[in-house]
Amino acid sequence: MVKKIKPILFSVPFIILLALVRMYEETWFYDPFLNYFKSDYQSLPFPEFESGKLFISLTFRYILNTLFSLAIIYVLFRNLEHIKVASFLYLFFYLILIGIFFYIINFLDKSNFVLFYTRRFLIQPLFLLLFLPGFYFQSKLTDK
């Protein structure tokens, strides 16, 4: 029983770090879309933004979320293959999502749900919520 609780306890600091990234998002990161999506954004034009600064900020936040998420995955499963697969997937999804995000804000005039959800996957650790059950079931299959 203690063996099962120990990894969960060791993952708590990384969960707290993920929460801190979210709590301080307005002060730590440049993102004019934070307030934009809190308003009636469907009828508003995009806010003014600096592309380079926004790219660096989104990338930095994605990297922080990725590192903390990979740490959680490692602490819970202690499997380097899971880390390799997750790292590849995080990089793959980042390249796709950042491309979609900048295409929409630079070439489309109006916001849509694709921008909202693309940005959501870039700034939130949603992939962790998808990867944890997958790695859990994978580890159960290989344990048998």
Span 54-84, pLDDT tens digits:
999 999 999 999 999 999 999 999 999 999 9
For the chain, what's the residue count?
144
Structure tokens that stand for 44 in this block: 């508003």
The reply to whether the predicted model has a pTM over 0.85 is yes
Report residue 7's pLDDT band, with 50, 70 and 90 as the boundaries: confident
Cα separation, 108 vs 114, in Å, equals: 11
Q: What is the mean pLDDT of residues 33-45?
A: 78
Cα separation, 132 vs 74, in Å, equals: 10
Cα separation, 26 vs 22, in Å, equals: 9
Span 123-141, pLDDT tens digits:
999 999 999 999 999 888 8
Q: Distance from first CA to last CA of the chain, Å, rounded?
A: 19
Structure tokens that stand for 45 in this block: 């034009």
* Residue-level pLDDT at 111: 63
Report residue 35's pLDDT band, with 50, 70 and 90 as the boundaries: confident
* Residue-level pLDDT at 60: 97
Q: What is the mean pLDDT of residues 96-104?
A: 94
Phi, psi at residue 46, to the nearest 5°? -60, 150
Beta carbons of 75 and 10 less than 8 angstroms apart:
yes
Cα separation, 58 vs 82, in Å, equals: 25
Which of 22-26, 102-106, 113-117, 139-143 is predicted least confidently?
Answer: 139-143
Per-residue pLDDT for 2 more than 70?
no
**Which residue is listed with tokens 């796709």?**
96
